[in-house]
Amino acid sequence: MINEYLGGTGLRQIIDEILNQGFSIDKLFSMIGTIFITLSGVASSILNILFILILTPVFMYYLIKEKAYIFTNISKVIPENVRHHAVELGKRSDVVIQNYLRGQGLMMVFVAGFFIITYGILSFFIPNFSLHIAILFGVMMGLFSVLPYIGVWISMSLPVILLVTLHLEHGQVNDTNIYLVGIIIIFVLNLIEEILESSIVQPQIFGKQVHIHPLAVLSSFLFFGGVFGFIGFLLAIPIAGTIKVSLQYIKEVNQNDIETLKLSEVEIENK
């Protein structure tokens, strides 16, 4: 019974290898250590993913709900002589981030609308590619567009996988290449959308919402994306907008200081 159990679980093979190659405590502890490290690594990765999925929405909820309280207490840590400057910069940065999120929402609507229309037209010519599936894929394209440049290409894999599956099921039987043609059309549509989004729509929308020149928007993507990678792509426009309002505020403060100094000089001359 023990031999049958060991043979069924694969432990018999391990034990035989240990016996054939020579048993030693070092080998036993080495095997146990390898198994323990592997299991601990897998468990740690699973726990990290669960913590991110569970704690991140909770953290964002309380951050939004208690935003005024949190940033008011943070401002108290700043020295009093510069506190009002920090508060003003925080307010202006908050406006920039709100406008960025509004612009991101418009981008998602544009991407979703583009693919809903194009995929909807495509569904009339490809068998088993129904209209409601095309709408679903279009909505997912819009949601994934929150990831600059790569989000739409990632979500494009879904309709491609579907068409490949349909070709394997029906294309070879009916001797048709319509599904392969559909895959090529999807690639072309994604390429057209990416060109429109990156060169025309995205700079115009973010330029108007965040009040940054389209060339500055493209430059921020190139710079912060190249320096910080994927996170830089996500935060490029908020960072650029924050830098802009900070420079504008510093310029206003300096201008006010100069005007105050001039008034003081005039008062001294009058006296």
In a domain, 144, yes or no: yes
In a domain, 239, yes or no: yes
Quick one: 107 and 218 in the same domain? yes
The total number of structural domains in the chain stands at: 2
Q: Which of 224, 227, 217, 210 is nearest to 100 (CA)?
A: 210
Quick one: 59 and 107 in the same domain? no
Q: Which of 71, 125, 115, 114 is nearest to 93 (CA)?
A: 71
Whether the model clears a pTM of 0.75, i.e. scores above it, the answer is no
The Cα-based distances of 92 to 89, 96, 99, 241 in angstroms read 5, 6, 11, 9
For 104-118, write each residue's pLDDT tens digit.
888 889 889 999 999
Low-confidence ranges of the chain (pLDDT < 70): 1-31, 148-150, 173, 207, 209-210, 214, 257-271
Quick one: 61 and 101 in the same domain? no
From CA 64, how far away is CA 103, in angstroms rounded?
Answer: 19
Q: By residue range, what is the domain housing residue 50? A: 2-65
Quick one: 52 and 104 in the same domain? no
Q: Contact, 73 vs 67, CB < 8 A? A: no
